[in-house]
Structures are given as structure tokens and as C-alpha cells.
Structure 1
Amino acid sequence: MPLLIVAIGVALLLLLMLGFKVNGFISLILVSLVVGVAEGMPALNVVKSIQNGMGGTLGYLSLVLGFGAMLGKLIADTGAAQRIATTLIDKFGKKNIQWAVVITGFVVGIAMFYEVGFVLLIPLVFTIAASTELPLLYVGVPMAAALSVTHAFLPPHPGPTAIAVVYGANISMTLIYGIIIGIPTAIVAGPIFSKFLKRFEHEPPKGLFNPKIFKNEEMPSFGTSVFTALVPVILMALAAVCEMTLPKTSGIRHTFEFIGDPVMAMFISVIIAVFTLGVNRGHKMTDVMNIIAESISGIAMILLIIGGGGAFKQVLIDSGVGKYIAAIMAGSTMSPLLLAWLVAAILRLSLGSATVAAMTTSGIVLPIIATTHANPALMVLATGAGSVIFSHVNDPGFWIFKEYFNLSLGETLASWSVLETIISVMGLAGVLLINMFV
């Protein structure tokens, strides 16, 4: 009976979001209320559970995502992203242009949400395609693949960071494993897959974008731009290395665990960016602070949706569904990693939103981690991989890709949807492979 109620709750979530086009946050809160009461919880306890779920999830994530949005906005609005892209393109040349675009997508995408990174880089993709006379998808697909891989696997992105918080996973280790899986995945889904899309080529749509192209003297140097964008990754990676190689009593380890914590890493990155990309470049502090203030408006709804997912997760735990699922799984032979991927994939296909799919999955499979002793970091990546499978018409990312590359519905399904499926399946394969050695 408890699982039937959860299934009805998920079906209600589908109906609200797909049938009635209700906002994801409102849908999640409503479903949380319905499921909690149906599971036998007193109404007041359901409300408290939702409050605890929201607070527990956002108390940590709001800092990470807030600082991430600030860093991404500074990188975009100061010309650092354009400097990274144009320099790599110049160095790699026309023959290796795809590798330049993949690296650009990785570097820029680490600090930005997928949609923000896509809209930021697509004018550069159009410019590169026009100047080199290369097919548009040949240039654009590697960029989209790199951005999607960072979105699915690499903290401090909303999805993997939020799931890591729920699972209690070490975020530094999640990042290390994510990079190991993400690099080959981006290569296959980007440069290799793009070679099969020649028949889908179209001219860029007219009037769809209005890019701000910075003059050379307006942009920071390449070294400054790359260093600033990668500071959080460097700090978290150093923390992971220290955790693996130094004893728990080491002062060096304690220091790097402190500065490599995602909140501190992102905060330090923003402080550095204020000076390297702002004040030191001649920008007034008031202008830099205005950029930072503007960055927050773009993540408000994302934060609420993630919080709504946390609320649903908490209701599932407090109502006893979590223990019920754990008891069932105690006798199951299915890999918990495969189960996490499968649940996330089903929800992704149904709901469209990778973030909602991932957060809902985390509440359903969380009890399994304790029961099966699955590696929490790998569970994060398995869930993230499942949450990006076969993007289609219920995913905003599907329509962004379709419109910017001027594709038909069928062409988008054959290109973007397959690209996302490659990332999902390779992500699962990578997780299962790493699990054999850790």
C-alpha cells in the first residue's frame, strides 16, 4: 500500500506538470501534502515535514548555488567566457575546433546552469561556424554535450550537488568520479556523435539571439579567465586528494577540507572573481556588485524546485515509506546503482525536468544506501545519469536546442534526444565500472 500511494503521488505530479502545466515547485508541495496525509501522517506533521525538508535541503544548497550563480554571471558579463572560447579556438585551429568547443563547454559549464551556459555560448558557436564554414551542428553539438555532462555529473551544479546533500555523499569524491566519467562521455556524445548529424544541417535562425561581443581590450586575459572559472574545481579536487592520501590528523588535510568544502570553495571563487574580473580590470565596485545582485534572480525558481524536491523526500522518509522500501530491497539482488538510474530515468521521461526527476529519485532510493552500503558518491552519479536520459518535448532544454539550431521536431529527437541518452547510458556504465574498483 505505501508504494501504491507513492505511485499515485508521482502520477499526480505528472498530471499537474504535464496536463495542467502547474509550476514544478507548487506541484511538488501539493503532492507532498497529498502523499503525507494518504500515508497516515497527521496533517500538522506533514507541514512540519515539508518545512524540515525545504530547510534541510536549501540551508546548504542556497549558499552553493547562490555563489555559483554569482561566479557564472561575473564570468559571462566581464568577457571571461568569450576570452576562454576565442583563445582555445585560435590555439586549436579549424581542424580541431570541436575539441576547443568541448573544453570551453567544460570550463564555462562548471560554474553555470545548463540553460545559462547554452545561451551564453551559442552566439560564439554561430560565429565559429560562419567564420570557419563548418556545419552548425558539427560545432554546436560538442558544446551542448559538454554543458550537459557538467550539468549531470559535476558539482557545484544544482542536480549533483542537491543529490549529494540528500545522500550524504562526499562532494569532492563525487566531483573526481564525475570528471573520470564525464570526459569520455563528452567526447563520445560530442565530437564523435556530431559526425553522424550532417543530414540535419540548417542555417542559424534569424533574430533569435542578440549577442554582446566584447572587444579584445575589454576582456581579461586567458590565464585569468580560466583560473577564475576553475577555482572551485581546483579547491574541491585538492580536498579530495588530501582526503585520499593524508591521515585524518593532518593539519594540511583539515585546511584543504575547509577551503575545499563546496560552500567555502564557491565563496572564495566569488571573492577572487570580484577582483580578477572586476576591480583589477577597472570596473567600479558598484558595477561589480550590480552584476552579483542580478545573478540571483535567475536561480530563484530553481532553488524553490530543489527545495520542493527536498520536501517530498522528507515526507517519504517521515511517513515510513523509506523504511518500507529499504525492507523490500533488503532481499533484492538488483544493484542499487542500477535501481537509482532506472527510477531517475523513468521520472525524467515522464516529467521532463532533470532536477525534479533527480530530487524525487533521491527521496525514493535514499534508504537503500544504508541497507546495501552502496557508495553514496556513485549513487549521486547514477541518479544524475538517469535524470538526463532521452530529453523530449516535456523538457525546456529540448526546445532550446531545437530553436537555436533551427531543427524540426524529428531532427531534434534524432540529435539532442539521442545525445542525452548517450550521456545517460555512458554515465551508468562508468558508475558500474568504477564500482568494481572502489
Structure 2
Amino acid sequence: MMSETTYLLLITISSIVLLLVLVMRLKIHAFVALLLASTFVGLAAGMPFMELIESLQEGMGNILGFIAIVVGLGAILGKLLEVSGGAEILAQHIIGAFGERRTHWALMLTGFIVSIPVFLDVGFIILVPIVYALAKRSGRSLLHFAIPLLAGMAVTHSFIPPTPGPVAVAEILNAPLGWMIGLGIVVGLPAAALAGPVFGKYISRKIMVGPPDFVEFSEEKVLSSRSDFLMILFIIILPLFLILIATSLDMVVGLGELSGENYWVSLFQFLGHPFAALTIATLVAAYFLGIRKGYNASQLLEFSDKALTPAGLIILITGAGGMYKQILVDSGAGEALAQLFITYNVAPLFMAYILAVIIRIIQGSATVAMITSAGMMAPIIVELQISDPMKALICLAIAAGATILSHVNDSGFWLVKKYLGLTEKETLQSWTVMETIISVTAFIFILMVSLVVK
């Protein structure tokens, strides 16, 4: 006779299969699909109807109380950087500082910084004309410049808050954003370097491609002062710096070196909370990138409205991931998963990575892969009582797994193909391999960091 633990595990596996069928075969939106998968787990586990509804509501509410504010503020900040020309100004100055021979390294760093507040697809569309200009002027393949830019963006997009994916995973797994930012930079930069400038230099020799035919080439450059560049860099780094300070103070207070009642400690912990840090950065951006650039209040309101449209979809999907996590916890399925880990001594880092890899490859969306994997890992982390740094590493393992093998079922694949004028085969040889290098390299570094972080 089947044990209760085995039955709950089968329910959990079946819910993943159901989710994939709903998203891939029936083309149901990920938000609705996650809601249906959560409901299936609850009903199959025998939860009373109203208790199931309460769990769904609790899961959604707990996540949205945090994620809606962080993702919303981050989206507005990114929109201000976009409309002000800040991304182009950053690229201009960083490329100038690195010199012509190291332009591909400058583009990697540009992508890494720009993608902190700006969504990857938007940032790439903004900056790809610079790639066209560099390729035309140098006579090199477009991939020599595009792959480093994309690698920098892809790493930040997956690993470093306040971009929505890592913020969502961190909230579901209750991992402090400060640890996510710090460790995300540690594991992300080497992955970006290998997948970007190093691989880009190699693949550009194999695939020679110039700017697509639809491009109207222009030599115009964004003209800006050094003070503009420093202000934009300051605005992007400001919330990360405040969050990292607050996390450092939390560690010091935890060690007993400082009192949590100290006024200055409390103040900087408040300023470093993601709500306060992003609010401050958004207000600074609204003044220096909005009002000082000649935009009025009505225009700034319009920019905010446009920024929140795509953010709203991400917030809803993340909320559905919170529902899925809560149902796994309340139904007992999460505890059954945790017992399986304990019985067979499965390392959470490996399981987090493999889960995200499987879901990513099958259904294509990195966001869905990250949120679904985080929902499954959350009850396991509660049972195993994992430390904050290790929670962050598990979040990063999920992000690494969800980055792997972007192919024809991923919208990013077609975006890159279109803007670089590649064939499907060439996109697989360049973009897909780049994403896979990021995934594997980052996971190797995550494992190395896990040896020293407990």
C-alpha cells in the first residue's frame, strides 16, 4: 500500500507535469497555470475547500506585500534610465574608458550595470545600435560586441536584485537581498566574463555577421558630460549600496558587536531596506533624470504608468508562485519533499539547480522556471533550517539553472535572432551556448562559494 509520503511526492510531481502541459500545450498564461497547479495539489492532498482558498490567499498576500513594491519601484527606476538616455551615456563613457582594443570587455560591464534597473530585452534594444556602429566601424562580426553585452545583461537579469527574477526567488525562499546582491556579483562576474568577451571573441571568428539589412546606420553619438555619467552610475549603485550596508549591519548585530537598539544602526537598517533604498533611488532619478532633463510631472507620471504595465505581469506570476509554495507547505507535500532530501542526503544546491534546468528547458520561460523551482524548494529550506548565506546560494543555483539552454521556446531567443540578423542555427551556436556557459560557470562558482559559506 502506498505511503502518505510517496503519495504527496507523486502529487507534487504531477503538479509540475500539469503546469507544463497548461503552459506549453494549452497556451494558458503562467499565472493561471500556477493557480490551477496549486489548486490541484491542495485538492489531491485532501485539503478542505475553504482551507485551500485561505492558503491560496495567504500565499499570494505574503509575496505581493514585498514583491509588488520592489518590482514596481525597480521598473519605474529603469524606465527613467531608459527615457533619459542614461543607458547610452553609460555605454559611451565605459567604452571610452576601456579603449578600442577592450571594447568587448567594456560592453560586458555596460550590460552588467544597465540591466540592474532595466529589463534585459529593453536594455538590449536600447544599446544594440551601439553594437551595430562598433561592428561597422571595426569590420568585425556583430557577435564580437553583441555577445559580451548580452552576457553582462543576462547575468544581472538572473542573479542580481532588484531585477524581478532574483527578487521573486529571494522572497519565496526568504533570502536577504543583501546576500543575493553580494554573492550574485561574486558568481556572476566570472560567468559573464567567460560567456561574454571570451566566448564572444571565439564565436565571432566562426560566424561573420554584419548589421541586419533593416538597420539604418547612423554615426550619431550621445553627447554627455562626465557629471552625467557619474550621476547615472550613482543612481544605479545607490540602492545596492544601501541594501548591502543594511545586510552588513544585520550581521554585526547578530554577532553581538552592536546593539540593534542603536539609533544609527536602526536608521541605516531602515534606509537599507529594499523599500526605502529603491524609493530613495527612484526619487533621485525622477529629479536628475526627469525634471533636470526637462520632463514635467505629467510626463513622469506617464513614464511610471508605462513601466508598471510589464511589471504587473511579473508581479502576478510571482504571486502565483507564492500560492504554489504555500499550498506545498500547508498540504504536507513540502514536508514530504524535505524528508526525501534528508533520507537520501540530497544536496539542496544540486536539487535547486536541476529542478530549474528541467523546467527551463521544457517550457522556455526563465521566470516560470525560477518561481516554480523556488516554490518547491521553500518548504525544504524551512525543514532543513538553512542559514541566510546558504539560502542566497540556493536562490542563485535556481537562477543559474533557469538560465541554461535558451532555445526556440524562449522569447529571448527570437529577440536576439531578429536584432542580430542571425539564422536559427547561428542563434543556437551563439546565444544558446552563451546562456549555457553562464549557467554552468555560475553553478560551479556557487559550489565553490558554498565550501566557505555556511
Alignment match, 2:446: 431
Tell me the CA shift for residue 422 of structure 1.
1.3
User: How is 1:115-134 mapped onto 2 (pairs within 5 angstroms)?
Assistant: 115-134=121-140
Matched, 1:182 2:188: yes
Unaligned runs of 5+ residues in structure 1 are none
Give 2:4's aligned residue.
none
Question: CA offset at residue 211 of structure 1?
Answer: 10
SS at match of 1:331: helix
**Structure 1 residues 66, 213: closer, same or farther in 2, change over 3 A?**
farther
8 Å contact 1:145–1:189 — kept in the other structure? Answer: yes
Q: 2:235 aligns with which of 214, 228, 245?
A: 228
Residues 331 and 210 (structure 1), Cα distance of their counterparts in 2 relative to 1, 3 Å cut: farther
Distance of aligned partners of 1:23 and 1:206 in 2 relative to their CA distance in 1, 3 Å threshold? farther
**1:352 maps onto 2:359 in alignment:** no
Amino acid at match of 2:258: P
| Letter in structure 1 aligned against 2:123 | G
Asked if 1 retains the 8 angstrom alpha-carbon contact of 2:55 and 2:323, the reply is: yes
What's the counterpart of residue 199 of structure 1? Answer: 206
**C-alpha distance in 2 between matches for 1:247 and 1:428:** 35
Instruction: Report matched runs for 1:412-431 at 5 Å.
Output: 412-431=427-446
Aligned pairs, number? 438
Specify the alignment match of 2:258 in structure 1. 247
Tell me if structure 2 keeps the 8 A contact 1:220–1:281. Answer: no
Quote how far apart the aligned CAs of 1:172 are.
0.5
String of CA shifts for 1:280-337, please: whole Å, max 9, x gaps: 2333232223222221112221211111222222211111101111122222222111
Give, in angstroms, the shift of residue 340 of structure 1.
Answer: 0.9
Matching of residue 267 in structure 1 with residue 267 in structure 2: no
- 1:170 and 2:176 matched: yes
Using the TM superposition, give the Cα deviation of residue 239 of structure 1 relative to its aligned residue in structure 2, in angstroms.
2.2
**Counterpart among 237, 245, 252 of residue 238 in structure 1:** 245
How far apart are 1:175 and its partner, in Å? 0.7
Say whether 1:150 aligns with 2:165.
no
1:55 matched to which residue of 2? 61
Query: How far did 1:48 drift?
Result: 2.3
Describe the SS at the equivalent of 1:168. coil
Identity of paired residues, percent?
37
Aligned-partner residue type, residue 337 of structure 1: L
Runs of 4+ in 1 over 4 A off after TM superposition: 208-215, 217-220
Distance 1:77 1:213, change over 3 A: farther
> How many Å apart are 1:192 and its aligned residue?
0.5
Q: Tell me what 1:368 maps to.
A: 380
Inter-partner Cα distance in structure 1 for 2:226 and 2:85:
5
1:209 and 1:9 map into 2 onto residues whose CA distance is: 48
- Counterparts of 1:18-33 in structure 2, within 5 Å, are 18-33=24-39
Deviation at 1:383, TM superposition (A): 1.2
Aligned match of 1:379: 394
- Structure 2 residue aligned with 1:394, among 402, 409, 417? 409
Offset at residue 193 of structure 1 (A): 0.8
Q: Does 1:331 align with 2:331?
A: no
Higher mean alpha-carbon deviation, 288-297 vs 341-350, is at 288-297
SS of the counterpart of 2:344? coil
For the residues of structure 1 that align with 2:53 and 2:420, how far apart are their CA atoms? 45
Residue of 284, 290, 315 corresponding to 2:327: 315
1:226 corresponds to which letter in structure 2?
Answer: L
Matches of 1:215 and 1:146, distance apart in 2? 21
Which moved further from structure 2: 30-39 or 237-246?
A: 237-246
Displacement after TM superposition at 1:166 (Å): 1.4
Residues 1:41 and 1:404: Cα distance change in structure 2 (over 3 Å): same
Q: Provide Cα deviations, 1:57-102, integer angstroms capped at 9, x if missing partner.
A: 1111010000000000000101111111111122222101011111
* Larger displacement relative to structure 2 (404-413 or 77-86): 404-413
Shift of 1:132: 3.1
- Structure 1 residues 190, 42: closer, same or farther in 2, change over 3 A? same
Q: Equivalents in 2 of 1:262, 1:43: separation in Å? A: 36
Q: Which moved more, 1:87-96 or 1:195-204?
A: 195-204
Q: Give the TM-score taking structure 2 as reference length.
A: 0.91
For residues 85 and 162 of structure 1, what CA distance do their matches in structure 2 show? 28
Amino acid at match of 2:290: G
Task: Quote the offset at 1:240 in angstroms.
Answer: 2.9
Task: Give the counterpart letter for 1:278 in structure 2.
Answer: G
Letter in 2 for 1:314: Q
Whole-angstrom CA distance in 2 between matches of 1:89 and 1:31? 47
Identify if the C-alpha distance between structure 1 residues 21 and 227 changes in structure 2 by more than 3 Å, giving closer, same or farther. Answer: same
Asked if structure 1 preserves the Cα contact closer than 8 Å seen for 2:67 and 2:167, the reply is yes
- Change in Cα spacing, 1:83 to 1:49, as seen in structure 2 (3 Å) is same
Structure 1 residue 90 and structure 2 residue 96: aligned?
yes
Q: What is the aligned counterpart of 2:22 among 5, 16, 26?
A: 16
Range with bigger deviation, 206-215 or 32-41? 206-215
Post-superposition offset of 1:364 = 1.2
CA distance in structure 2 between the aligned counterparts of 1:218 and 1:212, rounded to whole angstroms? 19
Bigger drift between 137-146 and 281-290 goes to 281-290
